[in-house]
Every structure is written in C-alpha cells, then in structure tokens.
A and B are shown apart, each in its own frame.
Chain A
Amino acid sequence: MRKIHLLLICVFFSFIFIVFYLSLQNPKNYDTEDLIGKKITELELNLFGKDGTFNTKEISNYQFTLLNFWASWCAPCRKEHKNLIRLSKNKNLKIIGVNFKDNEDNARQFLQEMGNPFYILAEDSKGKKSVNFGVYGIPETILVNSELIILKKYIGPLNSKDVNEISKLIKK
C-alpha cells in the first residue's frame, strides 16, 4: 500500500511540474488567432470622407483582401505603411483601410505624406465597428479570401516577414 501511494503522489507532482516547465517555455501572449478559419462579419462600414457605405460582403468580389486598421496618431502604423504600399502593388490583393478613431484632416494628411495603398477607405471614428472584427488595438491587419474566410490576423505593424507570408498566400 505504501509503495503505490508513493508512486501515485510522485506521478501527480511530476505531471504538475512538467506542465509548469512547459508553460515557462511557452510564453504565448494573447492574440485573436482563433479567428483564423472563421468567416468575416458581414457589416456596413461608412466610407471615409464621402457619403456612402461599403459592405464587407463585397470582399467576395476580390481574390484576396487585406483589412487594415490604422490611424494617423499611431506610431507603429507609420512604420508599417510602406509595407502596405508595397503590398498594394499586388494585382490580386485589394487593401481596405479602416481609419480608427481618427481626425479626418489628420488622416488625410497622413495619406498625403505617406501614400495611399487603400483600394477602399472606410472610417470607424468611434472604434465600435472594429469590435466586429476582433480588433483590440491598432495597427491590426486581417487577410481574407474571396470566400470571406479569415486566413491570417496580424497584431501590430506588418514587418517584412509578414509581407513575404502574405505574398506567398495570395499567389494560390
């Protein structure tokens, strides 16, 4: 009876300690990657600077779409902007920008300064529409295919590695 107890207890603690050890090796921060594989929300977004709306349903008309959430006051957005410009050169990729909680004039100036990669530009001045896309900070970028399925979600500015990844994914 003794030996079995000892063994059971050792196994129990070993299990716990192994999980502790593994958790140390795996500092995965929170991200919304569970959205990958889900369909994007069908939603009406107001166009930036003009009347009219854009329905995300229309993304099915494009081969691949990049939904980019940005603002003029956001420093990392500045950093990634040139990558967006680079990506906008792809024929089968359309970049839809969502200007997030921004001042219209500042946003316009930002685009004048840095270039406009956006095929369509929408605005979300209160930030509420972006909640439908699981956005919790900016910049965030979502790669969607013509079936409205989310292929990838990028939290934070797009770096060159991301650009390469996207370029590969949209070749299919």
Chain B
Amino acid sequence: MKNIIKGFFLLFFLITNNFADEDLNNKILKNLRCLVCQGQTVSDSNSDFAQIIKSVVDDKIQEGMTEKEIYNFLSDKYGDWILFNPPLKKSSYVLWFLPYALFAMGILFFFYLFKRTSIRKK
C-alpha cells in the first residue's frame, strides 16, 4: 500500500514538474523590478524599459541560461535592486535570518512564561 502511495506521489511530481518555457519566463519577469516605474514588476509594466527586458529575458532563456544565471546577469548590470527576491549575500543575511531568530526567541519566551505559571500552580 505504501509503495502504491509513494508511486502516486512520484507520478504526480513528475507529471507536474515540466515547467513550460512560458512559466519560467513569467516567473522571472515577475521577479524583476521595472527600473523606470514606481514599484512595478517588469511583467506588469508596459514601459519601454520593461519591453526591452522582456525581450532580453526571452533571448536568454532560448540561449539556455538558467533562472539563476539570468538573475546574476541582470543584477551584475543593474545592481541587486532589480531583483524582488533579495539574493542571499552578506548584505542580506540579517534580512533572511532575523525573522527566524525572532520566532525562536518568541518560542523560548513562551516556554519561559509557561514554566513560570506551571511552577506556581504546583
């Protein structure tokens, strides 16, 4: 029974994992900032700059560049500001790790409160 279930999941995973080029294109464009707009993605913008970037990204995908390579290419030319998903670097360690640190602290604090009141109960 377990093997059948595993098989099912594997099958589903394989079936749904063929990302069409179009999906990848969309995914990348949604992650790029339109540099001449106010807070819009390249995907949503109709500006000249956005149109050019859309075309360039399309070309790069056809050339076989991976998603990461395309992001690297663009952030190399335009800075990390063009990426909406901040890359994990020295400059963004705090950004990515602080939330988890805070959550952990919160849980510890909760346990501390918990212990205090249950000690009093006894």
Contacts and interface: CB of A to CB of B under 8 A. Distances in A.
Q: How large is the interface on B (under 10, 10 to 19, 20 to 34, 35 or more residues)?
A: 10 to 19
B79 A34 contact: yes
A30 B77 contact: no
Interface string A128-162: 10111110110000000000000000000000000
B102 to A, nearest CB: 13
B112 interface: no
A166 interface: no
A137 B77 contact: no
B59 interface: yes
A128 B52 contact: yes
Interface in B48-71: 48-49, 52-53, 55-56, 59
Contacts of A133: 77
Given A32-B77, A35-B77, A132-B77, A137 B53 contact: no
A30 B35 contact: yes
A128 B56 contact: yes
B32 to A, nearest CB: 12
Interface of A is mostly: loop
Contacts, number: 34
Interface in B26-51: 35-36, 48-49
Contacts of A30: 35, 79, 81
Contacts of B52: 126-128, 130-131
A134 B78 contact: yes
Nearest to A126: B55
A38 B55 CA distance: 25
Contacts of B81: 30
A131 B48 contact: no
Contacts of B53: 131
A32 B78 contact: yes
Contacts of B36: 136-137
Interface of B: 35-36, 48-49, 52-53, 55-56, 59, 74, 76-79, 81
- Going nearest first, the 9 A-B pairs with the smallest beta carbon separation are A134-B77, A127-B52, A136-B35, A131-B56, A34-B79, A128-B56, A136-B49, A134-B78, A128-B55
Interface of A: 30, 32, 34-35, 38, 101, 126-128, 130-134, 136-137
19 contacts: A30-B35, A30-B79, A32-B77, A34-B79, A35-B77, A127-B48, A127-B52, A128-B52, A128-B55, A128-B56, A131-B52, A131-B53, A132-B77, A133-B77, A134-B77, A134-B78, A136-B78, A137-B36, A137-B49
